[in-house]
Amino acid sequence: MKTQQYILFCFLTFYFIGVSFAQLAKCAEPGCPANGVWGEWKNDTKSICNMTCGGCGTSFQTRECLSTPVCNCTGNSHRYIGCNFGACEYPTQKTCCPPYLPMVINGVYMCGPVPKTIESTACCPQTDLFSPWTGWQLSGNMWSRTRKCIAESIGCPCTAAQTQAQTQPPCSQPGDATEYCKNIPVGRGVKHQDLVLNNGEDSADLVMFGENQDGNTYCQLLTDEYSAENRFEGALLIMREASGVCTTDTVFECVNGTDGDTKRRNATFTCNGTSGNWIYDYTGKEVIATVIGSWV
Ligand SMILES: *[C@@H]1O[C@H](CO)[C@@H](O)[C@H](O)[C@H]1NC(C)=O
Ligand SMILES: *[C@@H]1O[C@H](CO)[C@@H](O)[C@H](O)[C@H]1NC(C)=O
Ligand SMILES: *[C@@H]1O[C@H](CO)[C@@H](O)[C@H](O)[C@H]1NC(C)=O
Ligand SMILES: *[C@@H]1O[C@H](CO)[C@@H](O)[C@H](O)[C@H]1NC(C)=O
Ligand SMILES: *[C@@H]1O[C@H](CO)[C@@H](O)[C@H](O)[C@H]1NC(C)=O
Ligand SMILES: *[C@@H]1O[C@H](CO)[C@@H](O)[C@H](O)[C@H]1NC(C)=O
């Protein structure tokens, strides 16, 4: 075999002219770097140099776009490069694969001149480039979320924080559903009220009052669709779900409400740290607006 003629002794030197990451300059343009942010070229698992010396072998490399989809990359994600430029030792003579010639580089017989590998024109973004935040997660009694500094692995650290932490639940207060849900058939909105948040926890309460609060009567006899009265007297919660649908729930029967004369009971919610919406515990549905109502 032809290659075996070359292989008596080989310098298994692989020349990889890498970018010195500490020396990356700031990009000329603000925003995304012109070609996006590429990771380092990496040897593929299958990328064994197909010659052991002489300089004519090729090796396969791949790289990953680090900044997609924030900044899309342009350019190839794989390439072949020359490899194993060590001179082959023929019994008495150094040999190289044409067009390379044996020469001493840094005290070692190499096949040269070794071609320069053209590197991507990586540069540091002028301002911090981050991936989107992860969802909030509750751990212990702290909510936290993180984001990735996109160009950090090519030597461009970010200055702004990569993590945020707080004790307050990250879900936003549901809005007022009075207007949006005014056409639901069974109830009418009476009073919008904020949830009572519990710091360091994922739960919140909507304190549902029964009769005689603020001059409002939230407890009324439930009527069927022909206005015939049921025996059930309930406190109604009207909700605009994240899907856009309006739903209702009878949180408690007024005569059985707790807390003395005010007949009070809580509707409970759990924060979804990914969507930022409160989930009504009883239905498991995400809710973006609420109103305490009464039957029509
Ligand atoms: C890539 O593979 C070659 C062998 O083909 C090896 O000599 C070289 O060190 C590898 N380069 C990197 C950056 O891992
Ligand atoms: C090495 O592999 C590359 C890509 O498959 C091919 O083009 C080249 O001819 C091969 N070289 C040798 C010496 O086998
Ligand atoms: C990146 O590419 C994807 C898929 O081609 C596209 O949907 C997206 O809008 C692009 N993003 C930017 C910032 O150009
Ligand atoms: C209802 O919620 C309020 C506010 O979070 C809380 O102080 C109260 O203990 C709750 N009542 C019940 C019966 O859970
Ligand atoms: C309300 O209380 C009455 C009397 O204690 C009981 O029979 C009834 O089942 C209760 N209703 C509900 C919905 O808890
Ligand atoms: C929380 O929000 C995410 C993102 O919108 C959603 O995929 C997930 O199903 C939600 N979890 C629950 C329990 O609703």
Residues 181 and 156 occupy one common structural domain: no
Residues 236 and 214 occupy one common structural domain: yes
Residues 198 and 287 occupy one common structural domain: yes
Report the pLDDT value the prediction gives residue 271, as an integer from 0 to 100.
98
- The pLDDT confidence band at residue 2, using thresholds 50, 70 and 90, is very low
Report the pLDDT value the prediction gives residue 261, as an integer from 0 to 100.
60
- The pLDDT confidence band at residue 211, using thresholds 50, 70 and 90, is low
Contacts 24+ apart (CB under 8 A), 105-109: 108/11, 108/13, 109/11
Q: Buried b vs exposed e over 58-97: b needs ≥16 C-beta within 10 Å? A: ebbbebebbbeeebebeeeeeeebbbbbbbbbeeeebbbb
Residues 93 and 194 occupy one common structural domain: no
Report the pLDDT value the prediction gives residue 13, as an integer from 0 to 100.
27
- The pLDDT confidence band at residue 98, using thresholds 50, 70 and 90, is confident
80 Cα to the center of ligand 2, angstroms: 9
CA-nearest residue for atom 11, ligand 5, is: 256
Q: How many domains does the chain have?
A: 3
In sequence order, what are the residues at sequence separation of 6 or more whose Cβ sits closer than 8 angstroms to the Cβ of residue 158?
Answer: 128, 129, 130, 149, 151, 152
Residues 102 and 11 occupy one common structural domain: yes
Residue-range definition of the domain harbouring residue 180? 175-295
For residue 4, what is the enclosing H or E element? helix 2-6
Taking the CA of residue 14 as reference, the ligand 1 atom at the shortest distance is 7
Question: What is the mean pLDDT of the segment spanning 99-127?
Answer: 84
Strands 175-176 vs 285-295: parallel, antiparallel or unpaired? parallel
> Is residue 275 domain-resident?
yes
Taking the CA of residue 232 as reference, the ligand 5 atom at the shortest distance is 13
Instruction: Tell me, using a 6 A CB cutoff, whether residue 105 lines ligand 1.
Output: no
> Is residue 118 domain-resident?
no
In sequence order, what are the residues at sequence separation of 6 or more whose Cβ sits closer than 8 angstroms to the Cβ of residue 10?
Answer: 52, 53, 84, 86, 88, 89
Ligand nearest, relative to CA of residue 46:
1
For residue 3, what is the enclosing H or E element? helix 2-6
DSSP string over 220-238: EEEE-TTSPEEEEEEEEEE
**Single-letter amino acid, residue 225:** E
Residues 203 and 158 occupy one common structural domain: no
Instruction: Tell me, using a 6 A CB cutoff, whether residue 9 lines ligand 1.
Output: no
Residues 99 and 11 occupy one common structural domain: yes
Q: How far apart are CA 12 and CA 22, in angstroms?
A: 28
Residues 204 and 149 occupy one common structural domain: no
Residues 188 and 90 occupy one common structural domain: no
Residue 161 has pLDDT above 90, yes or no: yes
Residue 95 has pLDDT above 50, yes or no: yes
Question: What is the mean pLDDT of the segment spanning 125-147?
Answer: 94
Residues 25 and 45 occupy one common structural domain: yes
85 Cα to the center of ligand 2, angstroms: 15
Residues 24 and 95 occupy one common structural domain: yes
